[in-house]
């Protein structure tokens, strides 16, 4: 008799394993009626894929069939764990991102966006490098014994930027790296800046093979850094999400060459001494 009982149990388990059956309420009731211990049934529940009905009616049916509280508890835990795993997998699944959607995730950088265009394309502004500063008006300064101020200029090689925009009211989006931290890494793409407020939008003077901008003035009595007010293009910005900012121009762009410049990109160099010239990055574009 005992041998027949174990043979029956073996057949029950064999059929479950062979069919790779998903454990459900009916399967548990069968195991209970077969006389398996609570510990063995709980182990089976934990080791098997499951799809349990843990509604009020489902739990009442289990108790009516003689399932113990210990096994019912294991069923509820298994069901809640499966639901949590499904939710986690769903939230962790890759989300299809539209590269031309301003609210989608983007690589860190500054993007131009034409809201009026039919294709609504976002264009990333690749950074260019300021070259060594050069001076202007030194002769006039010398003729006035250093009273008249000379200008220190920074230059970008090439008369035109590769990035082009056509809408005078082009919108720009800044995507900073550490969107939850409030600050970007000092060694990061943005060099430690964290808001558009730290940038100046400048219009460059275009020469034959360069673009130039004033970065400071000096005379015999000292020097000062700063851009020419006439070259500054005002803008406002709105924080959309942590690390994502929308920049809106305060006035339409004129045809020409422009760039967003971070603070302290160039040091002022004077013939009378002072710090050495450096180099910095500018996120440049042209308006056609």
- The span from the CA of 20 to the CA of 280, in Å, is 64
C-alpha closest to that of 259 among 147, 149, 127, 64 = 127
C-alpha closest to that of 191 among 133, 113, 244, 261 = 261
- The span from the CA of 145 to the CA of 142, in Å, is 5
pLDDT tens-digit profile, the chain (288 residues): 555 544 444 445 445 444 456 889 999 999 999 998 998 888 888 888 888 998 888 888 999 999 998 898 888 888 877 555 544 444 444 444 688 888 888 888 899 998 877 667 889 998 887 765 555 444 344 444 444 456 677 788 889 999 999 999 999 999 987 544 333 444 456 666 788 988 889 999 998 888 888 776 544 444 444 567 888 999 999 999 888 999 999 999 999 999 998 765 444 444 444 443 445 678 999 998
8 Å CB contact between 202 and 232: yes
- The span from the CA of 107 to the CA of 110, in Å, is 9
Give the list of residues 6+ apart from residue 234 with CB closer than 8 angstroms, or none: 201, 249, 250, 251
SS3 of 272, please?
Answer: coil
In whole angstroms, how far apart are CA 57 and each of 45, 62, 75, 171, 219? 20, 9, 14, 57, 89
Predicted TM-score (pTM) of the model is 0.55
């Amino acid at each position: 008799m005992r041998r027949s009982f174990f043979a029956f149990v073996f057949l029950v388990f064999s059929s479950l394993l062979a069919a790779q059956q998903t454990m459900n309420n009916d399967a548990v009731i069968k195991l209970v009626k077969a006389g398996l211990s609570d510990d063995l049934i709980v182990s089976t529940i934990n080791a098997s894929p499951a799809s349990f009905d843990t509604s009020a009616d489902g739990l009442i049916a289990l108790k009516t069939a003689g399932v113990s509280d210990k096994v019912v508890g294991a069923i509820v835990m298994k069901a809640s764990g499966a639901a949590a795993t499904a939710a986690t997998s769903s939230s962790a699944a890759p989300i299809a991102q539209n590269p031309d959607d301003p609210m989608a995730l983007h690589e860190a950088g500054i993007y131009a966006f034409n809201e009026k265009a039919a294709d609504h394309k976002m264009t990333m502004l690749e950074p260019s490098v300021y070259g060594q500063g050069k001076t202007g008006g030194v002769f006039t300064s010398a003729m006035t014994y250093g009273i008249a101020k000379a200008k220190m200029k920074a230059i970008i090689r090439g008369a035109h930027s590769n990035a082009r925009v056509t809408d005078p009211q082009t919108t720009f989006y800044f995507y900073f790296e550490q969107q939850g931290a409030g600050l970007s890494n000092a060694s990061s793409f943005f060099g430690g800046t964290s808001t558009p407020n730290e940038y100046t939008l400048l219009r460059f003077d275009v020469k034959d093979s360069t673009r130039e901008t004033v970065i400071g003035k000096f005379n015999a009595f000292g020097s000062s850094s700063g851009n020419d007010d006439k070259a500054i293009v005002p803008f406002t910005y709105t924080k959309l999400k942590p690390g994502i900012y929308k920049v809106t121009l305060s006035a339409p762009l004129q045809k020409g060459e422009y760039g967003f410049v971070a603070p302290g990109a160039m040091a002022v160099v004077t013939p009378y001494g002072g710090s050495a010239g450096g180099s910095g990055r500018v996120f440049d574009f042209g308006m056609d």
